[in-house]
Structure 1
Amino acid sequence: MQFTAREDIAAPIDRVFEAVTDYASFEKQVLRRGAQVRRATDMAQPGVGMTWELEFRYRGRPRALTAQIVQFEAPNGVTIEGRMSGLSGEMRIDLIALSKQRTRMDVTIDLKPQSITARVLVQSLRLARTSLTQRFNKRLSDFAKGIEDQVA
């Protein structure tokens, strides 16, 4: 199952890349939503190999997720792979400079079930695809607006 979104941001590509790779900020957001997050690597700067371990509840069950940066190309994008029991996924963020002050951000999330339980979970996500896509687009739009507000 794949989710894709595109957002044009009124900010330079370097500034957008900096916001996309501000992992300390994302860690705080995860904690505020009730999940536990721990960096599994001691890297001072983000880069290939940086890994996180997350624990959260979804649909009443505890889940554990391991996420790792597998591609880090400043300022063009980053790819993060995630794995949890029976499910793997990849989030790819591609940045394209449209001009000095405008950047296009393409985000793709691809989920691949590897067990029967994960297939049932992904199937339930497919049934709610419209609302999930709307929420995904709204979050990405809010993120882009936040970057634009910081630049202005």
Structure 2
Amino acid sequence: MKFSTKEDVEVPAGEVFDFLSDFGSFERAAVRRGAEVTRVDRIAEVGPGLTWSVRFPMRGKMRRVLCELARFDRPEALNVNAESTGFHIALAVALVELSPKRTRMTVDAEIKPRTLAARLMLQSVRINKAGFVRRFEARVQKYAADLELRHLGHGVS
């Protein structure tokens, strides 16, 4: 199942990429929401191969996802692959500089089931795909608005 959306932000492409590659802020946000985040690689530089183990409660059970930075091409794109027992998730963010101060951010997410139970769960998502697409687009829009506020120095994280 694929989700895709585009947002234009009034922020230079390099700065958008810097915000997207601030992995520490994503780790802190996940911890604030109740997740346990652990870096499992030994890479010192930010780039492909960075890997995190994320544990979080969902539907009454602790779930674990292994996330790996697969592509890191500043300032054009970054891709993250995530694996759980039931799913493979590929997240791709592409940036296109529309002007020196305006950037188009394209976010694509693809979820593939790896088990029969995951396939059944995705089938139920397909029934209400329009609702999931709206939520996905709303989250990307909110993130884009937060980027613009951070760019202006309003300290949103």
TM-score bracket, shorter-length normalisation: over 0.9
Which residue in the other structure is 2:32 paired with?
32
Q: Secondary structure at 2:43's aligned position in 1?
A: coil
Q: Deviation digits for residues 39-75 of structure 1, max 9, x if unmatched?
A: 1123343210000001112222221110101111000
Structure 1 residue 102: Cα displacement: 0.5
Which whole-Å CA distance do the structure 2 matches of 1:41 and 1:135 have between them?
32
Which residue in the other structure is 1:96 paired with?
96
Which whole-Å CA distance do the structure 2 matches of 1:113 and 1:81 have between them?
14
Q: TM-score w.r.t. structure 2 length?
A: 0.91
Q: What amino acid is aligned across from residue 102 of structure 2 in structure 1?
A: R
Which whole-Å CA distance do the structure 2 matches of 1:121 and 1:46 have between them?
34
Which residue in the other structure is 2:13 paired with?
13
Which whole-Å CA distance do the structure 2 matches of 1:83 and 1:19 have between them?
24
Which residue in the other structure is 2:143 paired with?
143
Q: What runs of 5+ residues in structure 2 fail to find an aligned partner?
A: 153-157
Q: Secondary structure at 1:63's aligned position in 2?
A: strand
Which whole-Å CA distance do the structure 2 matches of 1:126 and 1:59 have between them?
19
Q: What amino acid is aligned across from residue 33 of structure 2 in structure 1?
A: R
1:92-131 equivalence runs, <5 A: 92-131=92-131
Q: What amino acid is aligned across from residue 93 of structure 1 in structure 2?
A: V
Q: TM-score w.r.t. structure 1 length?
A: 0.94
Which residue in the other structure is 1:133 paired with?
133
Number of positions where the alignment pairs a residue of Structure 1 with one of Structure 2: 152
Q: Deviation digits for residues 11-64 of structure 1, max 9, x if unmatched?
A: 100000001111100111111111111111233432100000011122222211
Structure 1 residues 17 and 84, CA gap change in structure 2 (3 angstroms): same
Superposition CA RMSD, Å: 1.2
Q: Deviation digits for residues 112-150 of structure 1, max 9, x if unmatched?
A: 112101101211222232222222111111111111122
Which whole-Å CA distance do the structure 2 matches of 1:16 and 1:45 have between them?
19
Q: Secondary structure at 1:46's aligned position in 2?
A: coil
Which residue in the other structure is 2:81 paired with?
81
Which residue in the other structure is 1:65 paired with?
65
Q: What amino acid is aligned across from residue 78 of structure 2 in structure 1?
A: V
